[in-house]
């Protein structure tokens, strides 16, 4: 592992990779402001348009474990470069697509490139920075990547107005393809601490099983699941309709409130990362506190008398939801601590699949409930639909608490044997004694 104070070369490598991740987030959100134009270009309705988002999120979630295996096998440099090429290709195809099926194909290619990026970044951080700095650098990476979401709003909208659909997306696609030369030249991997070994189907399945069997990986999966999906579902699809139709917020004000979801991640990332990096023993308490605050925020929004809270209350609630992104970085710190370096990519893919699977499930479930509640007034329909997200939060919080106890038990057992442990913990009365074997959920 790298020394506690990384050299300038590590920062240059990280910087080149983070710019690629910023581009991935930009491409991911590029359909947001292009939605009205896409309706006309592809001659489809809102339901068909939402399929672009569902397809992209579904591919992202499904690709996380394969991405972890690819990163552990080929290294971050090759996978990031391949991701950049796919992102650029997908956006170029989207620029020239004139039919709905062609548009879906283009977003599928783009979604595949996006799916390869984040796990590769985390694997790079894990091998170039010390465990103490890992959480901070990871959350800074996430915060800087969120700036890509900002670029996909007002700047992209202005470009579409001035240049048009084809020219705008051809330009950003070509620039992305060109950046692959930089990632290939600048990004470098560090040697792993263990040999790669065989790479047959059985060996790959065994690596995934080995990562999943680690209680810390299982805990990371549920932490990521519980903390990320609320902001994901609101940002990608349901935030604007919920604010405008469900809460009666003017459209212009709703756009500002949605920006809180991005700004909160940019600002909150380094703060949360520094905290969990300097006080790793507190990181799960931060998660539990956040989940309780998240549940309280939903309760206020959904039970407010008259159905429409003041704008200040809505803004605070959306800020809480935004902080789910930074807090979800705890999952990757857990992966880094509980897994050997040669298994970090696979375990990170497992954990990262949690939040994005939850996001896809939340987006689809809210849509289904809204269809079923079509006869109700819009405010009531959205209140019922958002209860789906609350139910998911409560379920995920329960699974997080279960695996927190089991992961803590592993640490105490290692201490009793005299082994080195990632974090020194204080035993509480509710801790498991003796530690239990991991069980399937």
Write the CB contacts of 377 (distance below 8 Å, at least 6 apart in sequence): none
Q: 333: closest CA among 279, 413, 371, 391?
A: 279
Residue 47: its pLDDT value, please?
64
Summary mean pLDDT of the chain: 84
Query: pLDDT by residue (tens digit) across 209-263?
Result: 888 888 999 999 999 999 999 988 888 778 888 898 899 888 778 878 888 888 8
Residue range 270-279: average pLDDT?
Answer: 78
Residue 353: its pLDDT value, please?
87
Residue 210: its pLDDT value, please?
86
Residue 224: its pLDDT value, please?
95
Domain 213-415 belongs to what architecture?
Answer: Up-down Bundle (1.20)
d(CA 308, CA 236): 22
Dihedral sign for Cα atoms in the order 171, 173, 174, 179: positive
Q: Give rounded-to-5 percent helix, strand, coil for the chain.
A: 80, 0, 20
Query: pLDDT by residue (tens digit) across 120-174?
Result: 998 888 888 877 777 788 888 887 887 887 787 778 878 888 999 999 999 999 9
Residue 323: its pLDDT value, please?
92
For residue 236, what is the DSSP state? I
Give whole-number Cα distances, 348 to 68, 109, 131, 201, 268, in Å: 6, 22, 15, 19, 21
CATH pick for 1-134+143-191 out of 3.40.50.1700, 3.40.50.1010, 3.40.50.10320, 1.20.1250.20: 1.20.1250.20
Q: Where in the chain is the domain with CATH 1.20.1250.20?
A: 1-134+143-191, 213-415
Residue with tokens 């800074």: 140
Q: Is the pLDDT of residue 342 over 80?
A: no
Q: Is the pLDDT of residue 310 over 70?
A: yes
pLDDT bin (cut points 50, 70, 90) of residue 439 is very low
Residue range 108-124: average pLDDT?
Answer: 91
Q: Is the pLDDT of residue 430 over 60?
A: yes
d(CA 379, CA 434): 50
pTM of the model: 0.77
Residue range 41-64: average pLDDT?
Answer: 80
Query: pLDDT by residue (tens digit) across 4-37?
Result: 556 788 899 999 999 999 999 899 878 766 776 8
Q: Range with the lowest mean pLDDT among 83-87, 149-153, 349-353, 401-405?
A: 149-153
Q: Range with the lowest mean pLDDT among 20-24, 88-92, 282-286, 413-417?
A: 413-417
Residue 96: its pLDDT value, please?
94
Residue range 330-338: average pLDDT?
Answer: 87
Residue 157: its pLDDT value, please?
78
Write the CB contacts of 28 (distance below 8 Å, at least 6 apart in sequence): 56, 110, 111, 114, 148, 149, 152
């Amino acid at each position: 592992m790298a020394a506690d104070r990384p050299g300038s070369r590590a920062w240059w490598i990280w910087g080149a990779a983070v710019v690629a991740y910023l581009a991935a987030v930009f491409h991911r959100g590029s359909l947001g402001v292009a939605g009205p134009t896409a309706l006309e270009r592809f001659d489809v309705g809102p339901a068909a348009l939402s399929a672009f988002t569902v397809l992209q999120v579904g591919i992202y979630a499904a690709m996380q474990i394969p991405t972890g295996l690819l990163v552990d096998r080929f290294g971050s440099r090759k996978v990031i470069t391949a991701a950049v090429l796919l992102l650029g290709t997908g956006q170029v195809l989207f620029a020239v697509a004139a039919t709905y099926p062609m548009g879906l194909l283009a977003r599928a290619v783009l979604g595949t490139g996006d799916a390869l990026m984040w796990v590769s970044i985390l694997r790079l951080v894990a091998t170039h920075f010390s465990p103490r700095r890992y959480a901070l650098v990871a959350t800074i990476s996430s915060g800087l990547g969120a700036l890509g979401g900002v670029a996909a709003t007002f700047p992209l909208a202005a470009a579409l107005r001035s240049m048009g659909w084809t020219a705008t997306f051809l330009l950003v696609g070509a620039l992305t393809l060109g950046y692959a030369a930089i990632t290939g030249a600048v990004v470098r991997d560090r040697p792993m601490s263990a040999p790669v070994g065989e790479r047959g189907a059985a060996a790959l399945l065994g690596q995934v099983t080995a990562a999943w069997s680690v209680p810390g990986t299982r805990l990371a999966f549920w932490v990521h699941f519980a903390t990320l999906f609320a902001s994901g579902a609101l940002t990608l699809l349901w935030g604007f309709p919920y604010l405008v139709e469900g809460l009666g917020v003017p459209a212009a004000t709703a756009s500002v409130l949605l920006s809180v979801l991005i700004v909160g991640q940019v600002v909150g990332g380094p703060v949360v990362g520094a905290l969990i990096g300097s006080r790793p023993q507190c990181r799960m308490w931060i998660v539990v506190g956040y989940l309780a605050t998240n549940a309280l925020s939903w309760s206020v929004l959904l039970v407010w008398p008259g159905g429409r809270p003041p704008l200040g209350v809505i803004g605070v609630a959306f800020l809480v939801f935004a902080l789910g992104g930074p807090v979800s970085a705890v999952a990757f710190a857990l992966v880094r601590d509980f897994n050997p370096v040669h298994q970090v990519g696979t375990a990170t893919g497992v954990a990262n699949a949690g939040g994005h699977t939850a996001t896809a499930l939340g987006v689809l479930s809210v849509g289904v409930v809204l269809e079923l509640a079509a006869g109700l007034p819009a405010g009531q329909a959205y209140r019922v639909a958002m209860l789906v997200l609350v139910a998911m939060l409560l379920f995920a919080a329960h699974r997080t608490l279960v695996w927190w106890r089991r992961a803590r038990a592993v640490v105490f057992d290692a201490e009793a044997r005299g082994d080195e442990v990632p974090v020194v913990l204080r035993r509480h009365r509710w801790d498991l004694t003796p530690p239990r074997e991991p069980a399937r959920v």
